[in-house]
A and B are shown apart, each in its own frame.
Chain A
Amino acid sequence: MKTIKLEMDFVEILCDFFITEGCSIFLEVPSMGQSVDLVGIKSNFIYVVEVKISDWRRAIKQCKAHEIVADYICVALYRDKLSKNLEVEIDKLGYGLVLIDKEKGNCFWRKLPVKNNKIWQPQRKQFEKKIFEKKLNGGFYAN
């Protein structure tokens, strides 16, 4: 229960962060049987963000499928430091990494994402439809 509350609070902080970054935000967008925690749209580019309180390996596993649909893939972790393993892995994959400054309660880029070039356009269009459906049904935060 505590973790769920923490994750909800963290998502709220992340929304503020990505809105400040110029994104429109959509939460829990379905994609190929998964749900993307947070999607940001900025200048027609799609950012997907997997949010985790712990278990960064699971976040990275979930991100793999997003490579088919998203321009930028990010992992957001509820921590202010990170292990060498994680840093190496994130670097290798070109994902972005957002951490939280627990004292100040705000997020920051630890690593900016690299533009993903593995998109398969037909599935990308399906994902755009899902984002549009989300917009129609609420779950949308404008910047």
Chain B
Amino acid sequence: MQIKHWMMFGTFAEQRHFVYPTKDTYQGVVINGNMAAHAPDGLAAFLLEKTNNLPYIIDPITHAFQHDVNAVKTRDKDPSKRKIKSSIEKIANYYGEPIKSIVGNRPIRPPDFKDNSILTSFVKNCLKFQKDIISTSMENNESIKYILPTKINLLPYALIAPYFYMTETSIDKWIEINLEAVNIANSSNNNLFAFILIDKGILTNSDMLNKVIDKYKRTDVKGYIIWIDDFNETEATSSQLKGYRDLVNGLKKDNIEILNLHGSYFSLLLASNLNDFSLSGVCHGPEYGEYRSVIPVGGGIPIARYYIPELHSRIRYREVLEILSSKEWLNNHSVFYNKVCSCDECKETIKADISNFTLFGITESKQRGDSSVFIDYPTTEASIHCLQHYLHIKKKEFEFASIATKEELINNLNSGINNYIDIIGDDGIKHLILWKRVFEN
């Protein structure tokens, strides 16, 4: 069964990656609501001209209004100069009350929705925003004249009911509002997805997890989108992974799609034969976004990372060199292709000279701001090599997990464990062991 491969739109500089390595790699693109509000014409042009008419979903990011107000403000050092980000302000204007009056002043709270008519109008505005914001721009885009009308659906693939973040301490306050928003939205739409945004703690609290499953399973929606806050599958504990599996399996119903908004290879295993194909799709960004915090955090200093296919993980370039060189897999290009990776990007970069592997880690020193400190950044070329290699391997992973037998999937995890444990030890491969265990019980 084909696992749907979704990619998260980050910036316009990344447009070309949505047809890489091939035009048909992705089944859809997820666009953040603030980005849609900020640049609808650009996104319309992107969808019509730069992709193979990819289906899209707009994440209405309604949870953004629920956090510390600084998360929706500009990052001026002087707090008095901080303003609401223009894209957030735009989206707040679309959503109307209670968001419009509260944004930037205080976080939205459950009592703000105690009047059902306010919640109803908020839900309707939120859905209207998703339906109209990009489709209207697409209708007005010049290039639409050259596309057969039957070949394109201007509307989003699905609409998402407004949703709020639920933690162990806030679930009781928010879950009924989230469910009521789904019910209101469902009354006027037949392609509705419910969005479940939870804290990791809920995964290991069986009462709460069952509550989420039971309540959401009763909603009459076409699909679910799951986002577990800052849930790095390569660092998760076995009980968290099992909780995630239980959530997916608990929500599974016939003809219902379940998409993980930020997932890595473990999510693909949940979408594979190993888990009766319970998860239907997984989304990630171009080389990032396999996990993400609900409250955005700074990205830190960029560093070249090479995705080691058998570890299903991005590793710092310098550590990759330590590992591969210890294994003697950097001795020549043939060994490398045989033991590490033979994707098109690696072959085109390395050719017949293994010293070209350094092209994945070339750096340049740049002065940091006005200070005298120089920081070593990956060059654009190195970043592109790492990214394109990552996209090749992701495509292969989706294809493999879609068709592989249970035995093949387990063998693949075993290869990673057996081939790397002697160099990186138990810590380096523990995620593969934990992933395997989830499907053994």
Contact = CB atoms under 8 A, between A and B. Distances in A.
A133 B365 CA distance: 10
Given A32-B321, A33-B378, A65-B318, A120 B362 contact: no
Contacts of A35: 376
Contacts of B189: none
Nearest to B326: A118
B276 interface: no
Nearest to B317: A32
B357 A33 contact: no
Contacts of B374: 28, 30
B355 A121 contact: yes
A33 B365 contact: no
Contact of A30 (B330, B358, B376): B376
B322 A122 contact: no
Contact of A32 (B318, B325, B326, B355): B318
B319 interface: yes
B303 interface: yes
Interface size on A, as a range, is: 20 to 34
A133 B319 CA distance: 24
B316 interface: yes
A122 B325 CA distance: 11
Interface in B342-378: 354-358, 361-363, 365, 374, 376, 378
A32 B357 contact: no
A106 interface: no
B196 interface: no
A32 B303 CA distance: 8
Contact of B321 (A30, A68, A130): A68
Interface in A22-37: 28, 30-35
B57 interface: no
Contacts of A28: 374
Contacts of B356: 122
A64 B233 CA distance: 26
B363 A32 contact: yes
A136 to B, nearest CB: 12
Contact of A33 (B317, B322, B354): B317
Nearest to A32: B318
A54 interface: no
Interface of A: 28, 30-35, 64-65, 67-68, 118, 120-123, 125-126, 130, 133
Given A32-B363, A33-B318, A123-B361, 7 more contacts: A32-B316, A65-B318, A67-B322, A68-B318, A118-B325, A120-B321, A133-B365
6 contacts: A28-B374, A33-B304, A33-B361, A33-B376, A120-B330, A122-B356
